[in-house]
Chains A and B, each alone.
Chain A
Amino acid sequence: MTTGTLITVLAVLALFLVLLAIRLHVGLSLMIAGLVGVVLLRGTDAAVSTVSNQPFSAAADYSLTIIPLFILMGVLAVQARLAQAGFDLASRVLRKVPGGTALASLTGSGLFAAVTGSSVATVATMARVSTDAIVKAGHGIKLAAGVVCSGGTLGVLIPPSIVLVLYGIVTDESIGHLLLAGIGPGVLTILPYAATITVVVTLQRKRRPALSTAGATVGHATNPGSTGTGVATTVDDHPSTADKVLTPAPKLDLTGFAFLVVIFLVSIGTIYLGVATPTEAASFGALAALLILLIRTRPPRWASAIKDSLGEAVGLTAMTFLLMAGAGVFTYFLALSGASTALVDAVIGIDLPPHLILILCLALLLPLGMFLDGISMILVAAPLLHPILVEYGFDGIWLGVVIVKVAEMALITPPVGMNAFVYSGSVPEAGLNRIFRGIVPFIIADLVVVALLLVFPEIVTFLPDLSSAQ
């Protein structure tokens, strides 16, 4: 790469950041920055052709059909109130446990994220309702912020996961294996998060013993300042009132929870059993979710429920593909400039131990989380980092899961993280400082998880290995 090219690359990166800063759509920012770069390196004709052909080539690929199908599956499951059912079940089971409300909120966020596959969307949806419940239980807004922001990151590794699918697409790793590989670490993360909640709640009790008598009980109000309006939405049929020490436990929606398991099994089981490819399995998952929605809604509401779900799925799909088209232009520019290969050569030239390189690459992701959501981050970073690390002998599937896990962490790490910002948008009274302070214990939990994945790669690889061995 010549000095001239290097300057062009840096200028285009700077332009991209400026475009982001003036609040242009991320996809269009990538597209315009890449366009300018191609003009500089190769002239207008090539630039215009790149931009004009990108939308078609970004979408005309059969393996991409899995993206709208997973999105649809998630939206339908939410419409059918399946995440809600899981949340209710958790609230009921955890009623007597210290920090039960927080644990139930964590479960709710985790389940919602698991079916929608988007951590940012989960935070936007769950922030208000979970916060009100947790604050009412007397655990304070800091813990609420921590639970909601980190809970959103839980579901991204658990299938369905658009981020993992995209990772497979941009790096050519097996999508089926990536989806199976995410399950272990996704489930594993729940334990340290739950432990964190327990520790925080125990410390709270020690500091404020008054809480220990009633504070751990769902629905008990100790903060009259909070509005409480959201609680009615969380546990829809059972609005908790600030006057009662104990709200009636939510009615158990066991079928709802069972249906959630059914969707998970249909979408993953068809891959595992060899009836269908991952792409085809997503269609089965979506159809199962549709049927469940029909079972759980009354016929007059069918039309509107289906219409709403399809509309939302189509909108989210368009959002994703605009990002992909923009990323396509930007990636073409990077490939043309030789920046990616130069970076790979430079990194390999430094001659550091592989694990140090890995950790440096992962650390690079953290600042990205201030501008970008998980999908954008993977589209921009995976094509750069994956080849470097594979060159060092790391397993591609394992890398995919670790990189996606850290990309999700980047959404909650201070000083800037999309999840924290979205939370602060929904719960303005929290304030960014308090939000980040609430998140810190969960970041420690995440670091423990990442360390475990580095030391015991089997946590990631055992399921895909098991399925190959069939």
Chain B
Amino acid sequence: GTGDDDNYVLHYTTYSNATSDQSRTVQRWAEEVEKLTDGGVTVRFHYSESLVDAEEAVRAAQDGRADLAQVGSIYAASDLSMFTVIELPFETQNPEAQMRAITRLYGENRTYREDFDRQGVRFLFPIPLGNAVLGLNRPANDVTDLRGRSIRAGGLTSDVLLAAGANPVAMTATDIYESMQRGVVDGYTSLALANLSTFALSTTTPQLVDPGIGVYSSSVVVVNEELYESMPQKYQEALQTASRNAIDNGLDEMDAAARTACEELTGSGTEFGSLPQDDVATWKADADIADSWVARYEQRGYDAQSVLDDYRRIVAEEERRSDYSDPLISCMKGHQG
């Protein structure tokens, strides 16, 4: 870090752009830190992978190319493998419970924590993404309707689509709009309501379906451990205080972005729908993603089952405690009565 005496300028690398709800959340965090430290800690933002690629974010925060990094779970399979437990589909529809679980696992599960330690980074706070949406060109009333359709997807959601007999197509989010327009793909997922405006999808999606997958991804902000340790106690506390507030801020910002998208979808005549619950239950059983996740990582020497068990336990506890409702669910309610 570029700390001389009591002044720290932290370089933050992110794949999000400057105006996204995720970057807004980190901007609010940085403002709070700066205030708490009387300007002793400031953050220099590098948006849209302008400093390092998303795949490299963890290692960049470790080897000094950056100080702070946003690490998306879809880029974390090799470096923060246990963190990817939060990508498992059909586990929860409540992003707040997911956020609390991401945070609590760091303190409560050793296997989960060790990944961060090994990479030389310290977890600060998570950033929510919300529930997965399924945007389609033609309506779908049940899971079998997805059979044979080409749908943009990434991460574990691709495996879920395979189980439904659909055809997952990997493509960057910026290509979705054009590919939907031209029929290269019939639909997209691995996106949440709050993302749709960014990619011009909130005004061009004929059918928006809640596939029942629930939360499907998230990201965390990490700081270089050595740099953190070198900071005076007062600064460390400032970082921690701001991080505790970040979850609420994140949900706030996500809600705002999702509300805009919901209005735009409504204004452009999008039809809303969701897949039947029994159907989704069968789908979950067929896909069996959680078991193969555990198997894959136990093969690599992780006690992955303990991470999954703790994740499920904490999510259940936090769901009881939380009255948060995902904006997708609110948006759907407004349209289905």
Q: How far is the CB of A390 from chain B (nearest CB, A)?
A: 12
Is residue B310 within 8 Å, beta carbon to beta carbon, of the partner chain?
no
Is residue B59 within 8 Å, beta carbon to beta carbon, of the partner chain?
yes
Most central of B11, B50, B56, B174 by chain A CB within 10 Å: B50
Interface residues of A in 314-345 (CB under 8 A from B): 331-332, 335-336, 338
Summed over the interface, the residue pairs from A and B with CB atoms below 8 Å come to a total of 60
In the complex the two chains form, is B48's CB within 8 Å of A172's CB? yes
Q: Across the interface, which residues of B come within 8 angstroms of A331, CB to CB?
A: 50
Docked pose: A432 CA to B245 CA in angstroms: 67
Residue of B nearest to A467 (CB): B182
Q: Across the interface, which residues of A come within 8 angstroms of B52, CB to CB?
A: 53, 57, 332
Q: What total of chain A residues lie within 8 Å of the partner, measured CB to CB?
A: 28
In the complex the two chains form, is B44's CB within 8 Å of A338's CB? yes
Q: Mark B105-141, 1 if CB is under 8 A from A, else 0.
A: 0000000000000000000000000000000000000
Is residue A354 within 8 Å, beta carbon to beta carbon, of the partner chain?
no
Interface residues of A in 139-176 (CB under 8 A from B): 172, 174, 176
Q: A49-B64, A332-B65 are in contact. Are A57 and B55 (CB under 8 A)?
A: yes
Which among A46, A174, A332, A468 is the interface contact of B64 at CB below 8 angstroms?
A46
Q: How far is the CB of B138 from chain A (nearest CB, A)?
A: 16
Q: Across the interface, which residues of B come within 8 angstroms of A43, CB to CB?
A: 64
Is residue A428 within 8 Å, beta carbon to beta carbon, of the partner chain?
no
Q: A43-B64, A46-B63, A46-B64 are in contact. Are A274 and B184 (CB under 8 A)?
A: yes
Which among A42, A53, A174 is the interface contact of B56 at CB below 8 angstroms?
A53
Interface residues of B in 218-256 (CB under 8 A from A): none
Residue of B nearest to A60 (CB): B55
Docked pose: A276 CA to B178 CA in angstroms: 10
Most central of B51, B60, B175, B181 by chain A CB within 10 Å: B175
Is residue B312 within 8 Å, beta carbon to beta carbon, of the partner chain?
no
Docked pose: A174 CA to B174 CA in angstroms: 8
Given contacts A53-B65, A468-B178, A468-B181, list 14 more A-B pairs with CB under 8 A.
Answer: A41-B2, A43-B64, A46-B65, A49-B59, A49-B63, A49-B65, A57-B52, A57-B55, A62-B170, A172-B48, A177-B178, A275-B184, A332-B51, A335-B51
The chain B residues found within 8 Å of chain A, CB to CB, are: 2, 11, 44, 46, 48, 50-53, 55-56, 59-60, 63-65, 170-172, 174-175, 178-179, 181-184
List the 7 closest A-B pairs by CB distance, nearest first. A274-B182, A46-B64, A49-B63, A45-B64, A57-B53, A274-B183, A46-B65
22 examples of A-B residue contacts, CB within 8 angstroms: A42-B65, A43-B64, A46-B63, A46-B64, A49-B64, A53-B52, A53-B59, A57-B52, A57-B56, A62-B172, A63-B172, A172-B174, A174-B174, A177-B178, A273-B182, A274-B181, A277-B179, A335-B50, A338-B44, A468-B181, A470-B181, A470-B182
